Chain A
Amino acid sequence: MTTDDPWAIATAVLPHADRILLHGMPSSGKSYLGQRVLRPSQNTAYTTTLTPDQPSSDLLGFYMVKGHDMVWHDGVAARAWREGNRLVLNEVDQRSPEVETLLHVILDDPATTQLTLPTGETIRPQPGFQAVATMNGNPAEMPEALRSRFTVQIHMTTVNPAALMAIPVEYRMAVKRAAEVTDSARRITLRVWLEFFKLRPIVGDEVAAKACFGIRGPEILATLKLATAAA
Chain B
Amino acid sequence: MERILPIPELLSESPYKVTGSTEHARTDVVNNTMEVPVDDSPNSRYTRIHELAHVKWTPPLTPEAWAKRVGTRADLMQIAEDARINMLTALAGVENRRKAPYPPTDAHNLARYVAGWPWSQAWTNPRWAKIDALVRPLIDAAGPPNKSTFTPRLARSLETLIPTMLPEDRTIYVRHASPETVGLAHTWGAMTIRTDLPMQWAPTAIRSRKRKRHARTTTGWIPSQTHRIFTDGKIFQRKSWLPSLGGTVLVDLSGSMCLSVEQIMALLAKRPSATIAGYNGTGPEGWLYMLARKMQAVNEPSAIAEILQHKGNIVDGPALRWLAEQEEPRIWVSDGGITGIQDFGASEAMVDETKSIRRVARIKRLDTIDAVLEAFTPAKDAPSPWLHYGPRPHFEPTFTELTDS
Given A215-B4, A216-B4, A226-B89, A181 and B9 touching (CB < 8 A)? yes
Residue-wise interface mask of B (1-28) relative to A, using a CB-CB cutoff of 8 A (1 in contact, 0 not): 0111111011111010010000000000
A-B contact count (CB 8 A): 74
A159, chain B: closest CB distance, angstroms: 13
A interface secondary structure, majority = helix
Residues of B within 8 A of A215 (CB): 2, 4, 40
Main secondary structure of the interface of B (DSSP, over half): loop
Beta-carbon contact of B4 and A229 below 8 Å: no
Chain A 154-181 near chain B by CB (<8 Å), digits 1 or 0: 0000000000000000000011011011
Let me know if B6 and A223 touch, CB within 8 A. yes
Contact B56–A226 (Cβ < 8 Å): yes
Q: Determine the distance from Cα of A227 to Cα of B2 in the docked complex, in whole angstroms.
A: 25
- Are B52 and A226 interface neighbours, CB within 8 A? yes
Q: Tell me which residues from 67 to 88 in chain B have a Cβ below 8 Å from any Cβ of chain A.
A: 88
Contact flags (1/0) for A188-231 with B, using CB distance below 8 Å?
A: 10000000000000000000000000111011101111110111
From residue A120, how far is it (CB to closest CB) to chain B in Å? 54
- Interchain CB contact (< 8 A) of B49 among A181, A219, A229: A219
Which B residue sits closest to A230, measured CB to CB?
B146
B53:A219 contact, CB within 8 angstroms: no
Whether the pair A178, B93 counts as a contact (CB closer than 8 A) is no
| B7, B18, B88: the one within 8 Å of A178 (CB) | B7
Interface size for A (C-beta < 8 A) is 26
Residue of chain A at shortest CB distance from B4: A216
Contacting residues, chain B, for A216 (C-beta < 8 A): 4
Residues on the B chain within 8 Å of A175, using CB? 10
Q: Which residues of A contact B4 (CB under 8 A)?
A: 215-216, 219
Report whether B7 and A226 are in contact in the complex, using a CB–CB cutoff of 8 Å: no
**What are the 3 A-B residue pairs with the smallest beta carbon separation, nearest first?**
A229-B92, A177-B9, A174-B10
Chain B residues at the A interface, C-beta cutoff of 8 Å: 2-7, 9-13, 15, 18, 40, 45, 48-49, 52-53, 56-57, 88-89, 91-96, 146
Extra contacts, 17 of them, besides A181-B9, A219-B6 (Cβ < 8 A), are: A177-B12, A177-B15, A178-B10, A181-B7, A186-B6, A219-B48, A223-B7, A223-B49, A223-B52, A225-B94, A226-B11, A226-B53, A226-B56, A226-B94, A229-B91, A229-B92, A231-B146
